[in-house]
Amino acid sequence: MKTTMPFYKYKPFPGVKVPDRTWPDNRISHAPMWCSVDLRDGNQALMNPMDTEKKREMFRLLVEIGFKEIEVGFPSASQADYDFIRFLIEGGLIPGDVTAQVLTPARGHLIKKTFESLAGVDKAIVHLYNSTSAVQRRVVFGMSRREIRDLAVTGARLVREEAERLTGSAIRFEYTPESFMATEPDFAVEICEAVTDVWGPTPERKVILNLPLTVEMATPNVYADQIEWFRRHIGKRDCIIISVHAHNDRGTGIAATELALMAGAARVEGTLFGNGERTGNVDIVALALNLHTQGIAAGLDFSGISRIIEVCERCTDIPVHMRHPYAGELVYTAFSGSHQDAISKGMKAREEEGNPYWEVPYLPMDPLDVGRTYESVIRINSQSGKGGVAYIMEKEYGLQLPGEMRPEFGKMIQAISDVTGREVAPAAVRDAFEREYLGRIAPYAFKRSTLVAHNEGDVNEQAPGIAIEAVVAFHGEDKTITGCGNGPIDAFCNALKTWFALDFKIFAYHEHAIGKGSDSKAAAYIGVEDRRGRRYWGAGIDPHIGIASFKALLSALNRSGAV
């Protein structure tokens, strides 16, 4: 196969050998610890970084969602970040159950400035990092493994010393060997153990070792292998928390994070909707709701997803894509006819069966869980079918179209979409129904009627032997017609056939109430067949079911062209 793309410039990622890996058999049974990095990693990736007011609004949102650890900035690299951290601390804006996290490189003067920003904080996580991969050591820093390790150890010592000086504040430690995926596994363990030896963690005061997928370089299973290998070889395992921080360069950041959790990670750093450098950070919204759909309490509240989107879009100037998992405008919407039919049947079955579990085709999660409604679950365009149109009519307007009638009306709506080339809104669907069925009042239009018992006894519409006297406008001229039958509809049919010399028969009749209560109306649907065997549907709506039926019959006759 010929190609002009120079694939030969790249080599396969080597991975790590874990022949007896156990993570593929594991299941995620509980939520990890969550840490939002929206205000640091997310903010530094914005074309227009957030100002203090936007940062405050984002911080408030993160707290409302339920994050207990929030990386609030990089104070040694940005005066704006430094000032925001001081704003939070001096304003008493950090809740007692929330820990602010700050990032610092392993450089002495930068570590000192980081601790300056934390003066007066009740508790915080100081997140120390330096890059450790072979290519970074060679190309960026020109340093050996030993020199990189010594840099991390020196930084760790200074972090410990500064934390001891910060009296009245509870400081926890986190270390990141940046570019972990591209770092030799044995060196990742070596440098992490050297740092933790300086910090002296205990089971009661654990150190966070954050193993980032700084740049995605292989399939998600490779990252899981690396996490499992690290977990097996690192010392003091009861004194550390393994954290992951995945980016999305290959588009598999969520999968990589989930597999890493299966491999032993217990903490996740990420951002709302995946904002971040290049292709972004792991998306905590999708990741948490993935757990939710497996029956696992995620520990984060996304029940008001529309408001969360609104705040994030305003603060970041980045729109949430309409196909974004769980949150996008169209993710609970079906246009395909077969999908619409399956969703409609699934929703109806759930109501009838009372199933406590969510089992609706094509909808992995109940839209209500994130504050969405069912109103836009099915939308109509040229790809839609009869089931979707019927769903719209029932959910939006309470009209339960008979199954035999749906293909006819569905084709009408599809034709509208074909002509316009656009989606057909629910109001337009209803307008088409009104125009095609309820508005068909020529040449025949119902005016009024009187029913009487055809034999002795009380007047009873359900009794056999009904006589009717009705007024029907024919081409605008009122005609009084009479007839008898075994019920109101039969009597009305016989009157029409006699007075207008019509030849037809009814092949289907359906009725139902629209709404509940004394002011509810009735809907009737009647199918007629003419003498040539051609079939037509009509519909009528009226507070009185009998009159709704008469209107439906005349609607069908008008649509048939009967004269």
Which is it for the CA torsion 495, 500, 506, 511, positive or negative? Answer: negative
State the number of CA atoms in the 13 A half-sphere of 382 facing the CB.
8
* Structure confidence at residue 459 (pLDDT): 38
Rg (C-alpha) for the chain, rounded Å, is 35
| Cα torsion angle, 130, 134, 140, 141, sign | positive
What the block records as the tokens of 51 is 């100002």
**Cβ atoms 363, 330 nearer than 8 A:** no
For CATH 3.20.20.70, list the domain ranges present in the chain.
30-316
Phi, psi for 551 (deg, rounded to 5)? -65, -40
- Decide if 408 contacts 389 (C-beta within 8 A): no
Cα distance between the two ends of the chain: 68
The fourth-level CATH superfamily of domain 444-560 is Alpha-isopropylmalate synthase LeuA, regulatory domain (3.30.160.270)
The token duo for 405 is: 């009638």
The tokens describing 322, both together, are 């309409």
Q: What is the pTM of this model?
A: 0.76
pLDDT at 537: 96
Record the tokens describing residue 130, joined without a space.
């330096």
The confidence score (pLDDT) of residue 458 equals 41
pLDDT (tens digit, 9 = 90+) per residue, 452-499?
A: 876 544 434 444 589 999 999 999 999 999 999 999 999 999 999 999
Yes or no: say if 288 and 298 are a contact pair by the CB < 8 Å rule. yes
Check residue 401 and give its pLDDT.
92
pLDDT in the model for residue 351: 85
β partners of residue 538: 526
The CATH homologous superfamily of the domain defined by 30-316 = Aldolase class I (3.20.20.70)
Asked if 468 and 483 touch (Cβ cutoff 8 Å), the reply is yes
Question: Where does the chain hold its CATH 3.30.160.270 domain(s)?
Answer: 444-560
Query: Residue 34 forms beta bridges with which residues?
Result: 268
Predicted local confidence at residue 303, as pLDDT = 95
Residues of the chain scoring pLDDT < 50: 382, 456-463
CA pair distance 391, 313, nearest whole angstrom: 32
Spatial contact of 253 and 213, defined as CB atoms under 8 Å apart: yes
